[in-house]
A and B are shown apart, each in its own frame.
Chain A
Amino acid sequence: MDLLTIGQIINTTLVFATALIFASLGGIFSEKSGVTNLGLEGFMVFGAFAAGIGAHYAQEAGMGGTTSAWMGVLLAIVLGVLVSLIHAVASITFKADQIISGIVINFLAAGSTLYLVKLLFEGSGDSPLVQGFSKFDVPFLKDIPLLGEAFFKNVYPTTYLAILFVFLTYYIMFKTPFGLRLRSVGEHPSAADTVGVKVLRYRYIGVMISGALAAIGGAAITLTTTGTFSHNTVSGQGYIAIAAMIFGKWNPIGAFGAAVFFGFSQAIRNYVQLFEWSQSIPQEIIFMLPYLLTIIVLVAAVGRSSAPSALGEAYDPGKR
């Protein structure tokens, strides 16, 4: 194995991690505000779907590849926010069980996106192939050995955007008054209410940002890896994103690290044939390794979870 291969593995890792980063950041926004979000998978599916048809119709309208891809992202954000309102209304206003409400989102996503795709494209289960984002090289930086191959060659704009959002989320969450209030309604809603923070409003905002970010994550899959939306475009990545969020202890930087870890596990499959030692090991063992490692790391290092303390509880001002 040489430096070139290592560089390529890092590169592929980041491509696979991109969607997970967006979705787990989304999860953080919702859960920091005190609303459990098991619907990340559903939001990703809606995003992947919206990106597929958005980019398709933008292309039909004569827009170029990259412009139409951005239109796809835009539609994904809009749909993600709209659908997140279902979760918000049910779990915040009507005080439904937040876990159940999240599962409902996943059900609705699986059903309605395929229904719409079949409706729009005459019974076909896939959306038409779109061009999506093209890979590009960063001039000069791409010539750095290893680093160039890993971070600056054949990259997608979504990957850079995802990393930017990690720092943005960190900044918003821990350095702005908005972030402080958002966290306060997730930790101690009645105290926040007492000092005049609109608990329900902040929770709505948290869930909506969550829907938007997870949808961008889904869009990133359609617009970079698959180029089309079908029933297995997302296939469980939302659940992995939840794991990444918990694994990263609801911290954007931590979630980023966990997402990269899972991205690596997906990337390594593409390269595993290159290692000589891998020939003697059944591929299934290599496939299950990252999940096994996650459990081991959780047991050994992470221990007790550090979820926001009011997570999962509907806020009832009358009960203060």
Chain B
Amino acid sequence: MNNVLKWFTRDSFILPVVAIIMGLILGGVVMLIGGYNPIEAYGALFTKVFGDMYNFGEAVREMTPLIMTGLAFAFASRAGLFNIGGEGQFLVGMTAATFVGVKFAGLPIYLHAPLALIAGALFGGLWAAIAGYLKAARGVNEVISSIMLNWIGLYLANLIVRQFLLLKGENRSVDISESASISLTWLSELMGNSRVHMGTLIALVMAVLFYIYMWKTKQGYEIRAVGYNPNAAEYAGMHVNRNIVKAMFISGMLAGLGGAFQVLGVFHYQTVMSGSPGTGFDGIAVALIGLNHPFGVLLGAVLFGTLTYGSAGMSFAADVPPEIIRIVIGSIIFFIAAQGIVRWILKPFYSKRKKEKVL
């Protein structure tokens, strides 16, 4: 019991919670200034997500790719890398999964779907590994190379869809074959025919694997060591460059898998896109809310997904522009990042607690 209490009063728990509350309050203030009723708006937001099974299922679907891109960003961060290329890795993974899903028709379901998932993860990983390799071998800043790879990935995805997979007369690929689908019909029917899929379960498993790998294995220790202090890691005999490439590869695998989920579980085809979907960038926010910890990322994705998906209900029922949610999310990250501000606000409470201890 005492341990539980200790956990809840830890800084890494209190600070994000306070940051979330402050973000919601700030969003409320902005709504008030705009002439809206924040209580009504937040009420509509939560009713949208938790009001019926269909919308709840759809919200879960919305969260799933965010978990993956969030995990991707968090993983690279642990190695001291700033993987802004989740967007491109997501798209490349998506395209690889579509390719396998369409072209490898005829495989039995227990081979086809896993193969498509593996292809998504593998190509997402390789895409990120390019940036990792360039950093390790040539010292090219991974931020700039992964921004470039985002654009290249977008056009590459479109190129492959248009050249090899195009549905005649449409601006999208043909449907993947049924055997590659990871949709869960029974769960979908249970949840009001929402598009829930197996990817959500895989995402949860990935979060657990992330935790085990990073904190319970030697390889994970090396990656963290490189992230904390590359010079010290080098001195301790670790291969810094190899760890950089490895961390980027795993990071990209996670993002690529997220892209594969979208095709295999949700849409079952891929469109020719005029711009990137933004899931990779949103994953950065999710990881930051989750303090780059896999379980934090899960909570971050739940929060982000709930707010984003619910914002549609907010605009429908209370007529509040849904963009306000970006302000809320932005301020939550702001308060988490600028912990000094939160500490400063919490100061009265902290000093009180210390006094009690003295007594």
In the bound complex, CA of A305 to CA of B152 (Å): 22
Contact yes or no, A115 B139, CB < 8 A: no
A239 near B: Cβ within 8 Å? yes
In the bound complex, CA of A96 to CA of B285 (Å): 15
CB distance from A247 to the nearest CB of B (A): 7
Encoded as 1 (CB less than 8 Å from any B CB) or 0, chain A from 235 to 278 comes to: 11001101100110000000000000000000000000000000
Contact yes or no, B337 A101, CB < 8 A: yes
Encoded as 1 (CB less than 8 Å from any B CB) or 0, chain A from 74 to 101 comes to: 0000000000001001100111110111
Given the complex, which residues of B lie within 8 Å of A93, measured CB to CB? 340
CB distance from B161 to the nearest CB of A (A): 10
Contact yes or no, B155 A239, CB < 8 A: no
Encoded as 1 (CB less than 8 Å from any A CB) or 0, chain B from 264 to 290 comes to: 000000000001000000001100100
In the bound complex, CA of A286 to CA of B301 (Å): 36
A157 near B: Cβ within 8 Å? no
CB distance from B155 to the nearest CB of A (A): 4
CB distance from B67 to the nearest CB of A (A): 19
Contact yes or no, A298 B144, CB < 8 A: yes
Given the complex, which residues of B lie within 8 Å of A129, measured CB to CB? none
Given the complex, which residues of A lie within 8 Å of B34, measured CB to CB? 115, 119
Of the candidate stretches A63-71, A102-110, A158-166, A181-189, the one touching chain B is A102-110
Within 8 A of B (CB), among A96-147: 96-97, 99-101, 103-105, 107-108, 110-112, 114-115, 118-119, 123
Contact yes or no, B324 A111, CB < 8 A: yes
In the bound complex, CA of A25 to CA of B104 (Å): 50
B82, B147, B155, B321: the one contacting A99 at CB < 8 Å is: B82
Contact yes or no, A304 B288, CB < 8 A: no
Contact yes or no, A303 B138, CB < 8 A: yes
Of the candidate stretches B41-49, B246-254, B327-335, the one touching chain A is B327-335
A284 near B: Cβ within 8 Å? yes
Chain B residue with the shortest CB-CB distance to A99? B82
Contact yes or no, B141 A111, CB < 8 A: no
CB distance from B28 to the nearest CB of A (A): 13
CB distance from A274 to the nearest CB of B (A): 20
Given the complex, which residues of B lie within 8 Å of A294, measured CB to CB? 144, 148
Contact yes or no, B162 A114, CB < 8 A: no
Contact yes or no, B155 A100, CB < 8 A: no
Encoded as 1 (CB less than 8 Å from any A CB) or 0, chain B from 285 to 328 comes to: 10010000000000000000000000000000000010111111
In the bound complex, CA of A22 to CA of B152 (Å): 24
CB distance from B304 to the nearest CB of A (A): 11
Q: How many residues of A contact B (CB 8 A)?
A: 50
A96, A123, A299: the one contacting B338 at CB < 8 Å is: A96
A171 near B: Cβ within 8 Å? no
A115, A239, A305, A307: the one contacting B324 at CB < 8 Å is: A115
B37 near A: Cβ within 8 Å? no
Name the prevailing secondary structure of the A interface residues.
helix
A4 near B: Cβ within 8 Å? no
A279 near B: Cβ within 8 Å? no
The number of residue pairs between A and B whose CB atoms lie closer than 8 Å in the complex comes to 138
In the bound complex, CA of A94 to CA of B208 (Å): 33
Contact yes or no, A298 B140, CB < 8 A: yes
Contact yes or no, B145 A298, CB < 8 A: yes
CB distance from B51 to the nearest CB of A (A): 24
B193 near A: Cβ within 8 Å? no
Interface core residue of B84, B155, B340, B341 (most chain A CB under 10 Å) = B155
Given the complex, which residues of B lie within 8 Å of A100, measured CB to CB? 288, 333, 336-337
A288 near B: Cβ within 8 Å? yes
A195 near B: Cβ within 8 Å? no
CB distance from A87 to the nearest CB of B (A): 10
B151, B159, B327: the one contacting A108 at CB < 8 Å is: B327
A90, A285, A291: the one contacting B334 at CB < 8 Å is: A90
Encoded as 1 (CB less than 8 Å from any B CB) or 0, chain A from 299 to 313 comes to: 100111101000000
A191 near B: Cβ within 8 Å? no
Contact yes or no, A101 B323, CB < 8 A: no
Given the complex, which residues of A lie within 8 Å of B188, measured CB to CB? none
Encoded as 1 (CB less than 8 Å from any A CB) or 0, chain B from 106 to 140 comes to: 00000000000000000000000000001000111
A89, A99, A299: the one contacting B134 at CB < 8 Å is: A299
Contact yes or no, A284 B288, CB < 8 A: no
B233 near A: Cβ within 8 Å? no
Contact yes or no, B139 A305, CB < 8 A: yes
B241 near A: Cβ within 8 Å? no
B158 near A: Cβ within 8 Å? yes
**Can you name 6 A-B residue pairings with CB atoms under 8 Å?**
A38-B143, A103-B333, A243-B148, A285-B155, A291-B149, A294-B144
The 5 closest A-B pairs by CB, nearest first: A111-B326, A107-B330, A94-B340, A96-B338, A284-B159
